[in-house]
Amino acid sequence: MDVYTEGPAASATGQESLLEILPRPFGRKVTSRMLAAARQAQRLAVEVGEGDRPLSSFGQPGQASPNATELEALSLLGGPDHDVYQVRFSQSPLVPGSREPTRLKITPGQQRILGEAANFLRTKQPRAGITIIGLVVRLFRAGKYGKGEVVIQGVDDDTGDARRLRVELDESDYNLAVKAHATGLEVTATGDLDIRGTRRSLRRLTSFSVLPGIGDD
């Protein structure tokens, strides 16, 4: 569904019209993205429901691949009883080259699979570029010098949930983590989330730093 703005423009008679509705490309991009994600989500839900593909197929990368938030929204539109619903995507008829509206019918079974897929992406699927902010609650290093491993307890920007993540640090960052642990300061780390059973780790770190406390410069 497109978003429109109002503004004056010259009419065919040379006079200014009082109103002109102009399409905003961003609105069309949002609609196209939502339609592509919903179509892909429904297609995968059908294939998973028929046993043709595993639930992990929702985690495969792709331009139209739905994320966990989109999957959860599609799974909840039918209400707690997962009633059948239809979602309609349309463009304004004023937009040049507009297409006929597209309707997707989401069944109860598909809604349940979409909900399971959203949970899978948030709890079991490795993801890149995750940032966690929290306290260092555990430190381990085999020797007095060198790299070490820490456990950060905090909130990640992927789900907003509180969790503990293991992070392997080089010597300089590990020493920063030791100071943060001693002073009670929070740290932030960004890397790729790796999930193996109940063990969650951040690997291939792109950044690690200690957040200043209140009153610090």
217 residues of the chain, pLDDT tens digit each? 332 323 343 334 444 443 444 445 556 777 888 889 999 999 999 999 999 999 888 888 777 888 888 999 999 999 999 999 998 887 666 666 666 788 999 999 999 999 999 888 877 777 788 899 999 999 999 988 999 999 999 987 766 778 899 999 999 999 999 999 999 999 999 998 888 777 889 999 999 999 987 655 5
Burial of 63 (0-12, 13-18, 19+ CB in 10 A): exposed
CA distance 200 to 194: 6
Q: Which domains does the chain have, with CATH numbers?
A: 4-123 (no CATH), 127-210 (2.40.50.140)
Angle in degrees, 0-180, between the axes of helices 68-76 and 25-49, rounded to the nearest 10 = 70
In this prediction the pTM is 0.53
